[in-house]
Structure 1
Amino acid sequence: MHDVLVLNGPNLNLLGTRQPEVYGATTLGMIEDRCTKHGASVGLNVSHLQSNHEGVLIDAIHAARGVQDGLIVNAGALTHTSIALMDAFASVELPVVEVHLSNIHAREAFRHSSYIAPVALGQICGFGAQGYIFALDALAAHLTPGSGA
């Protein structure tokens, strides 16, 4: 089993009630449960962290080095503003998949840019909560070549 940390940034603790027309009705707890179950089915031991504080996320990324095999991140609005998060991901040299519930490229222009994308394996956006499952599958395939995951 590979160990994977799923990080969720600012305001994602409000999923299910925050702008459901944009982000859906699924709560963060429901997403975490689905990720844990699906991860196990594809050989991933999944842990979770959500924080509204950039420094907490950076500390978690640093702590993942040598402990986790990969990262999945929905950094929320920090995606478009945080060079510090980008630097943290680049520094730990772990594979990371970026996830967004909405299609950030179909929204306001400021959301089209991601500081995380240049240091990520890839970006999954616009598929709602299912995007996390796609990210787990992508990371499992990356971590276990030839697995068919």
Structure 2
Amino acid sequence: MRIGTGTGIVAGLVVVALGCVLTGFLPRTDAGALGERIAPVLGFVVAITIVAELARDAAVFDVVSQRLARWGRGRVVVLWALVVVLAVVSTVFLSLDTTAVIVTPVVVVLAQSIGVSPLPFALATVWLANTASLALPVSNLTNLLAAPAMGEGP
């Protein structure tokens, strides 16, 4: 098994963080409070990443895009509207990152496969993911981290 660059960077940061706690640079009580605050968010991120990766490996988004192409029947406006729905649903139920990283490339391939410019499809997907994630706490990690400071309301 080969360890990727990202994994190495994360491991290095964990070692640095542990070093900060063990040397007293970051007091243990502060580290504990920080851990309690971010543990649920990190747990959510790990869980949703696993779900998104499983969906990608199972070709869920590829199958959905093929269905969209079939339902669009060559009508670009209808296909674009269907892509908008896919982007919103993906962002609502998975995350901004899933839509941007996994759905956008699928949408680009979908547009290219029917012979239209992928730019409007890709931009719509990314913009909608970003916009939808602003209002949904679970779709954007920043929202999850900021939620306690903003109060209990939506």
Larger Rg: 2
Structure with more of its chain in strand, by fraction: 1
- Higher RCO, 1 vs 2 (CA within 8 Å, ≥6 residues apart): 1
TM-score range, shorter chain: under 0.3
Structure with more of its chain in helix, by fraction: 2
Task: Output the TM-score relative to the length of structure 2.
Answer: 0.25
Task: Output the TM-score relative to the length of structure 1.
Answer: 0.25
